[in-house]
Amino acid sequence: MKSKAFHTITFLFYICLYIFPSFIVAQERDSIGLNSIKLEAFKVMAQFFDYDNSIPLEARIVDKDEETNYTREKIVLTGPRNSRVPGYLAIPKEGNGPYQCVLLLHGVGDSKESWWKENSFTSGGLLTKQLIDSGFAVLSLDAQYHGERILNNDYESADVFIFQKGWIMRARDMIVQTVIEYRRAMDYLATRKEIDSTSFGAIGYSMGGMMVFNLSAVDSRLNASVASVTPVLKEPFSALAVYNFAPFVNRSSFLMIMGESDSRNYTKNDGQRLYDLLKSKTKEIKWFNSGHKLPDEWTNRASEWMSKYLK
């Protein structure tokens, strides 16, 4: 089985190869600026993340596990383009509801399962435990072409199905569709009496961090956001380039967590410039002495951010 590090490197390699070859060379990449787009251009981009909220969710619970301190439901709901989206919703047993909910967004080659494995590349299981112990509900979905949805790829992994084939527009469509599916998931959570739907949190890793930028810019329901080791792609007016969205994140308290040696995905200057573009009143950037795989400590920072700002 290929490692998560392999999937991550493949993700960035093929985006760089097919969009802008100079991105592979750090020196040339640094020469490309991160400049914010105008509001009119953002409004055009943002409309692609809109959806018809009158389309029935057709959500149902297909399985349920009772654990010591939480109940985990497997749910499915209807997303855009008639997609059926599987996910996990975990609700704490302690405390009094309704509970605020944190959305968890995985990286390329991963799945909703990664948020339930403590020894995963992202330490996702550790983060989920910390959030539930802090009194949050958590929701994780399989991104388009990932997890149980791999059947749509004829069972090829996403890095093969998209990036090795050079189908970069499909990568863009995957990001847009998955962001809409999380918006639909928030609509579903608003129907659950156990969930406080007045505000949500979101934590994403790698590709998931990209989608946290997208979500935080286009959906005002997010009140606290954490984007970890987010690839910084320099493509004007692209949904894959988060710097196009950062200047329009102005409601959600935003934490960026980055690795100082994650040079295939960004330079430190890239990360700092992206942070500077954020318009959130409350924002912070934390650098770890690591590459794309962060130390377990990152989960402490992420869960503490939710406890402090998801209100």
- Please write the tens of the pLDDT for every residue from 205-237: 999 999 999 999 999 999 999 999 999 998 888
DSSP string, 228-288: ES------TT-TT-GGGTGGG--SSEEEEEEETT-TTT--HHHHHHHHHH---SSEEEEEE
- What pLDDT does 148 receive? 84
> Which range (88-102, 164-178, 265-279) has the least confidence?
164-178
What is the Cα–Cα distance from 281 to 305, expressed in whole angstroms?
14
Q: Is 294 in contact with 259 (CB distance < 8 Å)?
A: yes
Contacts of 83 (CB under 8 A, 6+ apart): 144, 149, 177, 181
Query: C-alpha angle with apex 142: 52 to 250, nearest 5 degrees?
Result: 60
- pLDDT of 151 strictly over 50: yes
- What pLDDT does 164 receive? 67
| Amino acid, res. 189 | L
Q: Is 102 in contact with 200 (CB distance < 8 Å)?
A: yes
CA quadruple 116, 305, 171, 6: dihedral positive or negative? negative
- Please write the tens of the pLDDT for every residue from 246-287: 999 999 999 999 999 999 999 999 999 999 999 999 999 999
Angle between helices 168-189 and 207-218 (to 10 degrees): 60
Domains of the chain by start residue, with CATH: 4-309 (3.40.50.1820)
Closest CA to 270 of 8, 35, 16: 35
- What pLDDT does 13 receive? 44
What is the Cα–Cα distance from 263 to 39, expressed in whole angstroms?
30
- Please write the tens of the pLDDT for every residue from 117-148: 988 899 999 999 999 999 999 999 999 888 78
For the record, the structure tokens of 256 come out as 């960026």
Q: How confident is the model at residue 163 (pLDDT cuts 50, 70, 90)?
A: low
Q: Name which residue leads in pLDDT, 58 or 30.
A: 58
What is the Cα–Cα distance from 78 to 55, expressed in whole angstroms?
8
Q: How confident is the model at residue 5 (pLDDT cuts 50, 70, 90)?
A: low
- pLDDT of 23 strictly over 70: no
Could you identify the residue written with the tokens 């770890």?
A: 288
- pLDDT of 33 strictly over 70: no
Sheet-wide strand order for 222-228: 60-66, 70-78, 84-92, 137-141, 99-105, 195-205, 222-228, 253-259, 283-288
- What pLDDT does 153 receive? 60
- Alpha carbon dihedral 283, 288, 292, 293, in 10-degree steps, equals -120
Peptide bond into 98 cis (omega under 30): yes
- What pLDDT does 28 receive? 39
Reduced to 3 states (helix: H, G, I; strand: E, B; else coil), residue 39 is: helix
Q: Name which residue leads in pLDDT, 19 or 304.
A: 304
Q: What is the mean pLDDT of the chain?
A: 88
Percent with pLDDT over 70 in the chain? 85
- pLDDT of 103 strictly over 50: yes
For the record, the structure tokens of 198 come out as 């007045």
